[in-house]
Amino acid sequence: MAVDADHNQAADLAGIKKLYKDMENEVEDAVKLGRISEEVRSKHKGFSQWDTYSSRRDHDTILQIVIDGET
């Protein structure tokens, strides 16, 4: 039983690390481009709630919690 729990925890941690790395890459790409790419914008419906313009000094904080892998 403990082995299954350890395996599940390790799998969950690996999944979280992958999601974090993907997010990190998307943020780095946005910084390089100076905008959010259309690919990323189309994947996350939350971006449609904000104007297309944002800058380092003039932007809303965007934080969306994804539940069950769906946005």
The pTM (predicted TM-score) of the whole model is 0.55
Sign of the Cα torsion 34, 40, 42, 45 reads negative
Residue 10 has pLDDT above 50, yes or no: yes
Percentages of the chain per state (helix, strand, coil), in multiples of 5: 60, 5, 35
Highest mean pLDDT: which range of 55-59, 62-66, 67-71: 55-59
Beta-ladder partners of 67? 70
Residue 1 has pLDDT above 60, yes or no: yes
